[in-house]
Structure 1
Amino acid sequence: MSTPSPASEADGAAAVKLPREIKVLVAAAFLIAIGFGIVAPVLPQFAQSFHVSVGAAAVVVSVFAFTRLVFAPLSGVLVERLGERRTYILGILIVAASSAACAFAQNYWQLLLFRGLGGIGSTMFTVSAMGLLIRLAPPQARGKVSSLYAGSFLLGNITGPAAGGLLAGFGLQLPFLVYAGALVLVALLVATQLPAAVPAPAEAAEPAGVQAVAQGPGLEGAAAAGPLPASGTGPAQGAGPAQGAGPAQGAGPAQGAGKQAPLLLRAALGIPAYRAVLASSFANGWSAFGIRMALVPLFATAALGAGPEVAGISLAVFAIGTGIALMFSGRLADTWGRKPMILLGLLVNGLGMGVLGFTGDVFWFFAVSLVAGLGSGLMGPAQQATVADVIGNERSGGKVLATFQMCSDFGAIIGPIAAGYLVDLFSYGLAFSMATVVALVAVVFWLPAAETQR
């Protein structure tokens, strides 16, 4: 049996028709990202308007991720009990209310409280969206779907920070109100355009007979939770009924089997690739969602002597770099594999963030931000595709998804706090260099892990 070339696999992924529900989620992600991008460059400065230190301002960024981390397990339970759609809408409305309340905060502690409450809703709609995407995405196009969804976020993040910097000229409270309005639009979009029941498509069926070979000994713990689908093992790869993947082996609807029981977290933790993706998710949270959001705006003001406009543009430049990478990283994750893209992304992003704190003028500040953004875009789709490979289409994995998200949030909590106090005690250069160290630790976790894409 011949092995398909990467080119033929890429053609097959491109030919897959994506469900309409994925397009609705992509559009919703774009609106969310615009609002989040508007708030990002002004949040640390709004916190400092209450006359607090850099470290305290960074805590306002971290508290959002902290509440996401604390409530992520509950979000996984809600997804499995209420369903993705209801959990998504409820989470969006909670974040909208929190953002509007931030605009009317009268002191630092009120801002900290209101921003933290938004993290509860954020983890609810994030885990819900990931669950829907995994269930809807055809196995041979998981990288493509992840790239499309992330690209939608990036388009919003490109325009949002620049707009936020301009809106800040009319008052630091206005961006929060605009963000709240955008989230209400998202809730209406999902409520009216996404059906209450979203079944997995027939082409998402995956045979399970190849699992022991594809994953190796690390899959033994997962066997207790049922067959674990491997990405890309559809008819195009020759893994159809001729290989014995009938209903008795857990095949999807096309083979007549029903939906499987949720994947247990302890079973997923028995897979080296899942443990590795938790490490890289932590590193990405530390860098892209933590230090970048907390320190980059302050660095632009304190070290470069620039205003909120430059801070907003720098965040947009980072997003542009990520968007450029997303144009091809999802396709490469489906053809070359998940592991090489994650390793490359960790190295590029980690080194870029480490250098960022030593830039001395606006030009190099923007240039290095672009490089760091490229690294984040290289690994993003491959990380989500790895989790999708572990869970598969015909089972839910709310707790597995929540743990993956928790690792990113944990990095986004520790990163800004540690970096903020390193700035207060030492320098911005040392604070940004910590992102490089964390990325290299994640690389060590990935080196022995097996590839999940087959």
Structure 2
Amino acid sequence: MKLARRLRRHIDMPRDVLVLGMIAFFVALGFGVLVPVLPTFATHFGANDLMVGMVVSTFAAMRLATSPFCGRILERIGGRITLAVGIFIVAISSSTMAFAKNYWWLLGWRAAGGIGSAMFSVSAMTLLLGSVPARMRGRASGFYQSGFLIGGMAGPALGGLLAKISIVAPFHFYALTLAVAGTLGLAMLTTSTTHAADSSAEKIARPLREILADTRFQAACAANLAQGWNSIGVRSSLIPLVIVGGLGLTPTWTGIVFAVAAVVQTIALAPVGRFVDTVGRRPAMLVAGAVMAVAIMGVPLSRSIWPIMGIMCVYAIGAAAMGTAPAASVGDATGGVRGGTPVALFSMSSDTGAILGPLAAGALSDQFGRPLGFAAGAVLLAFSSMMALRMPRQKFSHQQ
């Protein structure tokens, strides 16, 4: 409670936003710790490259399969309880994976973690969008994303150190950080999901069919699909191949490029969030999609590491906008009310991109060369910009 009060004095955000940012940090820290060791741990059971890939992708696949049910769960037991239960499911699955006796045990418990992750993701975003008025949704989304980015930057380095102690130590550490996050959610989040400062009209729940027909929601889902395809999928699968295979550098350089880009994205989140809340969601999504499309196409055409690093920093600024403006647009479309099912659909669009992106980009790259593998993602980003053109012109002043 004291930590939340201190943060609130320095950051003009409601308490729930601060708490969700802290929860995001602990979740991302633990997830990042697991990243360096999970593939290696799977090979201990004789897993080949395809089987290792299944361990990674089954988590996202179960998130996608579970997300449609999260809205009903949230409406039945509330956002705070849904978030905590989801986090504790992932914690139990992580700890249990450390005791896996064979590959299928590992795969099964990893899949169970995806179920809990979907519950956490949908409820956290629903609580976030419902805890702030429209004029603050961009900045709130940016603060929440910064928790993930900071935790994600620290996690892999810590995971490498823990792996020197024991290959299973990161699994238990992940469970511990998740237990902390779940406890924070239960103890510090409020049960209300509607900001009291919003107008009475905005508090009225819109029918789902109206939300689905809203151009703001449609553009947000298109942007999230493109973001999942590129930032989660293509970025993780093809860019390391360009750096290591194309330029002949060590994997360390991939980590350096990603770390520098993550720092740039974290720094950009605050000013981008203010831009989204004052200038508007529409211009932010329009420019971000175009900038990211051009940037991602520059990666396979680069002939040294320095242009790639610069390109990824530019891409990171666009990604900061794509991490804030679409989420704020979902809040606008729902009015911060009845967000469970729409937020689940929004989350599913990103998961769909993250699952299909690496497969499609890899197949295109194998058959026609890496530039075409990147081009497919660039087309989706350009499409998201065109979808943003259909959004109403809208901005929110701080006096609103």
Please tell me the TM-score bracket, short chain as reference.
0.7 to 0.9
Output the amino acid matched with 1:317: V
Distance in 1 between residues matched to 2:240 and 2:314, nearest whole Å: 17
CA separation in 2, counterparts of 1:297 and 1:112? 25
Asked if 1 retains the 8 angstrom alpha-carbon contact of 2:228 and 2:351, the reply is yes
Partner of 2:192: 198
Partner of 2:393: 451
Question: What amino acid is the match of 1:198?
Answer: S
Does the Cα contact within 8 Å between 1:322 and 1:378 map onto a contact in 2? no
2:344 alignment partner AA: A
Match of 2:259 in 1: 316
- Equivalent residues of 1:67, 1:119 under 8 A apart: yes
Matches within 5 A, 1:379-398: 379-393=322-336, 395-398=337-340
- Residue 128 (str. 1) matches residue 123 (str. 2): yes
Q: Deviations over 1:285-333 (max 9, x none)?
A: 1111222234445655544555554444333223223212212111001
Which has the larger helix fraction?
2
Q: Does 1:186 align with 2:181?
A: yes
Q: Of 336, 340, 349, which aligns to 2:292?
A: 349
Q: Which runs of 5 or more structure 1 residues have no equivalent in the other structure?
A: 1-13, 209-228, 230-251, 253-259
The one-letter amino acid of 2:149's match is: L
TM-score (norm 2): 0.85
CA displacement at 1:398 relative to structure 2: 0.9
- 1:161/1:316 contact within 8 Å kept: no
Identity between Structure 1 and Structure 2 (%): 38
Distance 1:290 1:153, change over 3 A: same
8 Å CA contact retained: 1:285, 1:409 = yes
CA contact (8 A) 2:286 2:386 kept: no
Aligned counterparts of 2:38 and 2:372: Cα–Cα separation in 1 = 23
- The answer to whether the aligner puts 1:373 opposite 2:316 as a matched pair is yes
Matched, 1:77 2:20: no
Matching residue of 1:284: 227
User: Could you tell me how far 1:423 is from its partner in structure 2?
Assistant: 4.6
| CA deviation map 1:355-409 (0-9, x unaligned) | 334445444443333222221102221111111111114x222111111111111
Give structure 2 stretches of 5+ with no counterpart.
1-8
1:165-192 superposed Cα distances (whole Å, 9 cap, x missing partner):
5555666654333322211111122222
Report the equivalent of 1:266.
209
Across the aligned residues of Structure 1 and Structure 2, the Cα RMSD in angstroms comes to 3.0
Which residue identity is paired with 2:199?
Answer: E
Deviation (angstroms), 1:46: 5.6
Q: Which stretch shows the higher mean deviation, 351-360 or 277-286?
A: 351-360
1:51 Cα offset (Å)? 5.5
Aligned to 2:90: 95
Equivalent residues of 2:139, 2:270 under 8 A apart: no
How far apart are the structure 2 equivalents of 1:167 and 1:124? 28
2:362 aligns to what? 420
Residue equivalent to 1:293: 236
In 1, the alpha carbon distance for the partners of 2:244 and 2:163 equals: 14
Aligned to 1:255: none
SS of residue matched to 1:126: helix
CA contact (8 A) 1:42 1:308 kept: no
CA deviation string 1:67-105 (max 9, x = no partner) = 111111111111111100110011101112233344455
Q: Residues of 2 paired with 1:293 and 1:364: CA distance? A: 18
Q: Look up the match of 1:224.
A: none
Which structure: larger Rg? 1
User: 1:150-161 to 2 correspondence within 5 Å?
Assistant: 150-161=145-156
Deviates more, 1:38-47 or 1:128-137: 38-47
Alpha-carbon shift at residue 159 of structure 1 (Å): 2.2
- Of the candidates 408, 417, 438, which is equivalent to residue 380 of structure 2? 438
**1:406 is matched by which residue type in structure 2?**
M
Give yes or no for contact 1:38–1:161 (8 Å, CA) kept in 2.
yes
In structure 2, the residue matched to 1:52 is 48
The letter of the residue matching 1:99 is S
Q: Distance in 2 between matches of 1:306 and 1:166?
A: 23
- Tell me how far apart the structure 1 counterparts of residues 265 and 179 of structure 2 sit (CA, whole Å): 27
Residues 1:23 and 2:22 are matched in the alignment: no
The alpha-carbon distance between structure 1 residues 443 and 293, as it changes in their structure 2 partners (threshold 3 A), is same
Q: Match of 2:213, SS? A: coil
Cα displacement string for residues 9-42 of structure 1 (whole angstroms, at most 9, x for unaligned residues): xxxxx99953222211111111112222233355
In structure 2, the residue corresponding to 1:202 is in which secondary structure?
coil
When residues 166 and 288 of structure 1 are mapped into structure 2, their CA distance, relative to the original with a 3 A threshold, is farther
After alignment, is 269-278 or 56-65 more displaced? 56-65
Distance in 1 between residues matched to 2:95 and 2:63, nearest whole Å: 18
1:85/1:330 CA distance change after superposition, 3 Å:
same
Letter paired with 1:315: F
Q: Tell me whether 1:409 sits opposite 2:351 in the alignment.
A: yes
- Matched AA of 2:388: W
Kept in 2: contact 1:165–1:308 (CA 8 A)? no
Worse-superposed segment, 86-95 or 108-117 = 108-117
Comparing 29-38 with 353-362, which one deviates more in the overlay? 353-362
- One-letter amino acid matched to 2:222: A
Q: CA 1:163/1:305 → structure 2, altered by over 3 Å: closer, same or farther?
A: farther
CA contact (8 A) 1:281 1:407 kept: yes
8 A Cα contact 2:219 2:326, kept in partner: no
Count of residue pairs the alignment pairs up: 387
**Inter-CA distance 440–57: structure 2 relative to 1 (3 Å threshold):** farther
Distance 2:304 2:166 in 1: 27
What is the CA distance between 1:441 and its match in structure 2? 2.1
